[in-house]
Amino acid sequence: MKSALKIGSIVLIIVIISVPAWNRYRQGPPPVQPSSHSVNPFVQKTKINIDSLSNYSESTFCNVLYKDIKADIRSYRLDSKIDSSEELLLLKNLDYTYFDKFTVQAFRFFGGSKWDDGKVRFIATETAKLKHSPYLEPGSVVSEKFNEIQAVINTYNEVSAFIENMKAFFDNGTFNLYNSKSYINSAANWEQNGLNNRYVNNITEFHNILRSAPSRAYSKHLNYLRSRVNANIGEYRTGTFSGNNWAQKATDYRDKVFDPIAEEIEQFQNISASLYGISPSSDLQNIKTSWNSEIMNAIEYFKKSDNLVHP
């Protein structure tokens, strides 16, 4: 009897143990609990966006996308969707990616023959900001690229300033032969030295303006002489000239008015070919003919005046 009870108890225990085991076997293993190290969806999304920045076109600047991604990272951190270490890694990755893309885009722009002033200013401003990034390593390859970009901008600004000053000089109403020679020589030096920068040397407009310096100076000099002659036509009638007779007055007029302008006309004719590379045109001959007639007109005028005073 006791043996039967023992056997029954053993069977009951086996059944009690076996039923839950069988149920677990039939249902399969329990689901795996999420790991505390699973991928943060906001981190993953940001990485995808940074990849899109990396794949951005080289011919179009992507500073807006860069700013948007950075703003998203800041927002995720403020909303506790990412922790501080994730924020740091994402910002660093973003800046490194943008460094590379921006420098490629900048040098591609520099390779063109026509530069837009607005884009040049953007490149200068953007470079200055990126050079202050906390993630930029001094002496790194990208840091040296930023320095090269800055050198390009500096030379561009230097040539632009020279050209603007040169144009202002040639367009104003005054004339100075020394300054004209200086601008012609400086423009030639820029040309001979390839604008001092291989990228700035690509700009067609700069070359066209610099090469126009001699012809601009020629036109300015010619216009100056024309205005000098026109301003002094009939001066013998309105000026005061000393002398006791018409011959003395004519001589005084020649010394004070006629000869100085005639000498300037002669000087222009002598230097035109060598300085400006242009032989004097019919315009100069017209100016010269007009002025030469003035001395005959002056003599005739003084003779008549003298006859009126001493009939």
What H or E segment, with its residue span, contains residue 237?
A: helix 235-238
CA distance 102 to 23: 62
pLDDT category, 308, cuts 50, 70, 90? low
Q: pLDDT > 70: what percent of the chain?
A: 87
Look-up of token digits 């920045």: 53
Q: What is the pLDDT of residues 183-210, one digit of tens each?
A: 999 999 999 999 999 999 999 999 999 9
What is the tally of helices (H) and strands (E) in the chain? 13, 0
Identify the CA nearest to 49 among candidates 97, 100, 103, 105: 97
Q: What is the pLDDT of residues 44-73, one digit of tens each?
A: 999 999 999 999 999 999 999 999 999 999
Q: What is the DSSP string of 173-208?
A: S---HHHHHHHHHHHHHHHHTGGGSTTGGG-HHHHH
Q: In whole numbers, what is the pLDDT of the chain averaged over residues?
A: 89
CA distance 298 to 254: 9
Question: In Å, how far are 34, 75, 149, 203 from 160, measured between CA atoms?
Answer: 63, 42, 16, 11
At residue 268, does pLDDT exceed 80? yes
CA distance 7 to 14: 11
Note the Cα 75 to chain centre separation in Å: 35
Residue 28: the pLDDT is 37
Average pLDDT value for residue range 252-265: 96
- pTM here? 0.81
Q: Where are the domains of the chain?
A: 41-156, 219-311
Where b means 16+ CB within 10 Å and e means fewer, 61-95 reads: bbbebbeebbebbeebbeeebbeeebbeebbebbb
Identify the CA nearest to 73 among candidates 105, 56, 98: 98
C-beta of residue 102 within 8 angstroms of C-beta of residue 57: no
- Which amino acid makes up residue 152? V
Residue 38: the pLDDT is 79
- Which amino acid makes up residue 263? E
- Which amino acid makes up residue 27? Q
CA distance 181 to 176: 9
CA distance 187 to 214: 9
DSSP conformation class of 254: I
Q: What is the pLDDT of residues 70-93, one digit of tens each?
A: 999 999 999 999 999 999 999 999
CA distance 94 to 50: 6
CA distance 190 to 239: 47
pLDDT category, 24, cuts 50, 70, 90? very low
At residue 15, does pLDDT exceed 50? no
**Phi–psi pair at 184, nearest 5 degrees:** -60, -45
Tokens of 247: 């011959």
